[in-house]
C-alpha cells in the first residue's frame, strides 16, 4: 500500500499545481484582453502618424532637424524590451536570440549599447557583458504614453548629441494569441525609405507619393522640430504596447499548456493508483485464500 500512498501524494501535488496554473491562466487572459484592446486602439493613430511623416519626408533633404541626419554608423543604441517575470513561454527567448544574433553579426568597429526595458533583458545583457546605459524595470504591464517618456526622451537626447548614429528597438510584434514575432526596427534617424517600407508592410492601401499636399504653418522646419519627436515617441509607445500584448498572450498560452499537461498527468496517476490498489486487493485476497486453504 506504500505505492498507493505515494501516488495519492503525487496526485494531490499535481492538483495543487494545476489550480495555480489555472489561476495564472485566467489572470493572464484578463490582462491580455486589456493589452490587446490598447494595442489595436493605438495602431491606427500610429499608422496615420507615420503616413503624415511620409508626406512630410518629401522635404527631408531640406530639413536641418537632428533626428533626420544620417551619419556613418559607428555606435548603435538598442532599446531592448522584455518582461519582468518569467513563465511566458518563448516570449523572452525569441527576442533575446534576435538581439544575440545582432551582437554577433555587428560590423567590425561598430559599438552597441543598450537601454533595457524589463528585468529579463537586463539580466541577459549583464551576463553577456554588454554595456547598458539605462534600465527601466518599473514600466506597467499596461503602459501608458507617459510611462515611455523617460525612455523616448533619453533616446532622442542621445541621438541629438551625436552619441549614437543609429537607434534600434528590439520588441515582440503581436499577431495573435498564438503568434508573436520578434522584431528589430530602426527608430532614428528617420529615413523616408524606412517609413514607406513599414507602411507598405502594415497596410496595402498606403497613400501614394504626392497623394496629399500639405501647407506648413508657421514653416516646415518649425513643424518638423515638433512632429518628428512626437512621432518617435508614439513609435516607442506602440512597440511597448505590442510587446505587452505579446507577453500576456504568451503567458496565457504557457499556463494553459501547463494546466492541460497537469490534467493529463492526473489522469495517468489516477490510472496508476487504481491499478496499484487493484493489485493490492488481489494480493490480499490471494493471501486470505492461501491461509484458508492451509487451515483446511
**What's the pLDDT at 245?**
93
Give me the percent of the chain exceeding a pLDDT of 90. Answer: 49
Full domain range(s) for residue 134: 28-251
Per the CB < 8 A criterion, the answer to whether 104 and 114 are in contact is no
pLDDT classification of 205: cutoffs 50, 70, 90: very low
Name the catalytic one among 24, 68, 81, 88: 88
**What's the pLDDT at 214?**
62
Residue 208 confidence (pLDDT) above 60: no
Spatial CB neighbours of 70, under 8 Å, sequence gap ≥ 6: 189, 191
**What's the pLDDT at 206?**
45
Helix (H, G, I), strand (E, B) or coil at 136: strand
9 lies in some domain: no
Distances (CA, A) of 74 to 82, 113, 166, 187: 25, 11, 8, 16
Say how far apart CA 74 and CA 164 lie, in whole Å.
8
Residue-by-residue DSSP string for 85-118: S--STTHHHHHHHHHHHHHHTPPTT-EEEEEEES
63 lies in some domain: yes
Say how far apart CA 63 and CA 53 lie, in whole Å.
13
**What's the pLDDT at 92?**
94
Among 140-154, 165-179, 188-202, 251-265, the range scoring the smallest mean pLDDT is: 188-202
Domain at 129, CATH number: 3.40.1380.10
DSSP 8-class letter at 70: -
pTM value is: 0.82
Residue 295 confidence (pLDDT) above 80: no
Average pLDDT over residues 110-128: 94
CA 51 to chain centre: 25
65 lies in some domain: yes
200 lies in some domain: yes
Average pLDDT over residues 110-135: 94
Task: Determine which helix (DSSP H) or strand (DSSP E) holds 225, and give its type and residue range.
Answer: helix 220-295
Domain count, the chain: 1
Dihedral angle computed from the Cα positions of residues 72, 125, 27 and 242, in that order, rounded to the nearest 10 degrees: 10
Q: Name the grid cell of 163.
A: 552619441
60 lies in some domain: yes
Per the CB < 8 A criterion, the answer to whether 164 and 75 are in contact is yes
242 lies in some domain: yes
pLDDT classification of 119: cutoffs 50, 70, 90: very high
287 lies in some domain: no
CB atoms within 10 A of CB 90: 15
Average pLDDT over residues 186-205: 64
**What's the pLDDT at 207?**
46
Is position 198 annotated as part of the catalytic site? no
3 lies in some domain: no
Among 103-107, 114-118, 195-199, the range scoring the smallest mean pLDDT is: 195-199
Amino acid at each position: 500500500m506504500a505505492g498507493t500512498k505515494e501516488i495519492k501524494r503525487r496526485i494531490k501535488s499535481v492538483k495543487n499545481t494545476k489550480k495555480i496554473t489555472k489561476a495564472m491562466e485566467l489572470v493572464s487572459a484578463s490582462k491580455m484582453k486589456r493589452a490587446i484592446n490598447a494595442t489595436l486602439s493605438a495602431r491606427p493613430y500610429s499608422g496615420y502618424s507615420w503616413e503624415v511623416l511620409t508626406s512630410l519626408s518629401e522635404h527631408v533633404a531640406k530639413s536641418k532637424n537632428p533626428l533626420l541626419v544620417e551619419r556613418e554608423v559607428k555606435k548603435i543604441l538598442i532599446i531592448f524590451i522584455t518582461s519582468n517575470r518569467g513563465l511566458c513561454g518563448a516570449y523572452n527567448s525569441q527576442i533575446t536570440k534576435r538581439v544575440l544574433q545582432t551582437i554577433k553579426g555587428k560590423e567590425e568597429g561598430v559599438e552597441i549599447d543598450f537601454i533595457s526595458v524589463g528585468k529579463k533583458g537586463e539580466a541577459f545583457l549583464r551576463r553577456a557583458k554588454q554595456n547598458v546605459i539605462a534600465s527601466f524595470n518599473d514600466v506597467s504591464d499596461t503602459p501608458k504614453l507617459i510611462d515611455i517618456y523617460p525612455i523616448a526622451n533619453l533616446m532622442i537626447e542621445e541621438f541629438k548629441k551625436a552619441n549614437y548614429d543609429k537607434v534600434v528597438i528590439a520588441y515582440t510584434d503581436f499577431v495573435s494569441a498564438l503568434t508573436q514575432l520578434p522584431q528589430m526596427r530602426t527608430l532614428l534617424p528617420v529615413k523616408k525609405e524606412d517609413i514607406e517600407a513599414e507602411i507598405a508592410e502594415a497596410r496595402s492601401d498606403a497613400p501614394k507619393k504626392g497623394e496629399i499636399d500639405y501647407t506648413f504653418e508657421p514653416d516646415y522646419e518649425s513643424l518638423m522640430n515638433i512632429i518628428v519627436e512626437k512621432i518617435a515617441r508614439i513609435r516607442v509607445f506602440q512597440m511597448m504596447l505590442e510587446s505587452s500584448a505579446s507577453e500576456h498572450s504568451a503567458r496565457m498560452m504557457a499556463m494553459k499548456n501547463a494546466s492541460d499537461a497537469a490534467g493529463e498527468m492526473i489522469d495517468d496517476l489516477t490510472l496508476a493508483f487504481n491499478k496499484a490498489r487493484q493489485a493490492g486487493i488481489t494480493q490480499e485476497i490471494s493471501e486470505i485464500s492461501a491461509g484458508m486453504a492451509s487451515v483446511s
